[in-house]
Amino acid sequence: MTADLQKLRQQIDALDAEILQKLNERAAFARKVGSLKVGQAYRPEREAEVLLRIKQLNQGPLPDEVAARLFREIMSACLALERPITVSYLGPQGTFSELAAKKHFGEGAELKPQGSIDEVYRSVESNACDFGVIPVENSTEGAVGRSLDLMPQTPLKICGEVLVRIHHHLMASAPLPYDTILKVFSHGQSLAQCHEWLNSNLPKAERIAVASNAEAARRASLEPFTAAVAGEMAAAHYGLSVLASNIEDEPNNTTRFLVLGTYEPKLSGRDKTSLVLSAANRSGAVYEMLTPFAQRGVSMSKFESRPSKLAIWEYLFFVDIEGHVENQNVADALAELRKIAGYVKVLGSYPAAVI
């Protein structure tokens, strides 16, 4: 070992000791803050502010995203000193929903897989869990219908969002030549997202849709000459070999997840508001519902219709706008909207995704 290398390592060791000391000092302050809080300990708007500030302060060489994720874990560990947050998600283990929950809440949270989206809702409504994480839309395959259909019925509020880049991998219990694979298991949406790759590389393999990508990985771990399309977490959880990586047809494939809870976040400075509406039964009613937002300079990022399931040919409209209900222009637009629309429910105002 050269003298220069030895000196650099000593400097790194000294920095590690200093970082550890500062982390414990931060944890002590976080514990004091926790003792002064009344009610909800987790404040998504505060965490969003911290992560945005870290990105602004970061001067590298660490990328902004990496720096923010490090601080996400620091905050998660500090919060767990008071009491780990319990978070339900669409299971089983190894799904992208689990990845979304970990990305948003960090490793300090206690994650609880559920068998369906309905069960995620129920676990939070019954106070069995503090928060729930549900998939709501994919950039290539569109909305997750069940997640939307339950929102008008629940007392829960949206209090956060998570964006997860979806990378699909072909995996099996052992390295296999492609031409020996007889079946490919995956969730129906994942099979659709890898349609062209599968056509080109596994044209003769039977494609079998299952309840989740994690279930696909479990099936592939048990049955010879089969493979699964799933994420890295599923491969690790079931001990599978990855045969091909990033096989999704759309390179920017992203799924948006929502965080549900009883807490209503305050202003963070970079917020979204989600609504569900129904139009009055008259000509031009849908156009009229959009006018209050346009007149007050409120940007709309989503407008999607779903059958109401209450009557034939009646629809609900799911809308995302930029801003918080406490912003004056948003509050004014909503007040006007309530005079026009047949039904208005604010699903939540929450910080936009930071990492």
* Residues acting as catalytic residues: 255, 257
Please calculate the CA angle 98-353-49 and round it to the nearest 5 degrees: 120
Of the candidates 68, 107, 70, 69, the residue with the CA atom closest to the CA atom of residue 87: 107
Residue with tokens 């409504």: 125
CB 330 within 8 A of CB 273: yes
Q: Identify the burial level of 319 via C-beta atoms within 10 angstroms of its C-beta, where 0-12 means exposed, 13-18 middle and 19 or more buried.
A: buried
Provide the 10 A C-beta neighbour count for residue 233.
18
Residue with tokens 């069995």: 128
Quote the tokens at residue 159. Answer: 């209090």
Helices 64-82 and 44-57 meet at what angle, rounded to 10? 140
Of the candidates 306, 347, 17, 355, the residue with the CA atom closest to the CA atom of residue 153: 347
Alpha helical stretches, state H, the chain: 3-36, 44-57, 64-82, 96-105, 117-125, 145-150, 188-193, 195-201, 213-222, 232-238, 285-295, 328-340
81 CB contacts (<8 Å, ≥6 apart)? 27, 30, 31, 34
Peptide bond before 61: cis, by omega within 30 degrees of 0? Answer: yes
DSSP sequence for 38-57:
-S----HHHHHHHHHHHHHH
Q: Identify the burial level of 234 via C-beta atoms within 10 angstroms of its C-beta, where 0-12 means exposed, 13-18 middle and 19 or more buried.
A: buried
What letters, b where the CB count within 10 A reaches 16 and e where it falls short, cover 5-17?
eeeeeeeeeeeee
CB 260 within 8 A of CB 44: no
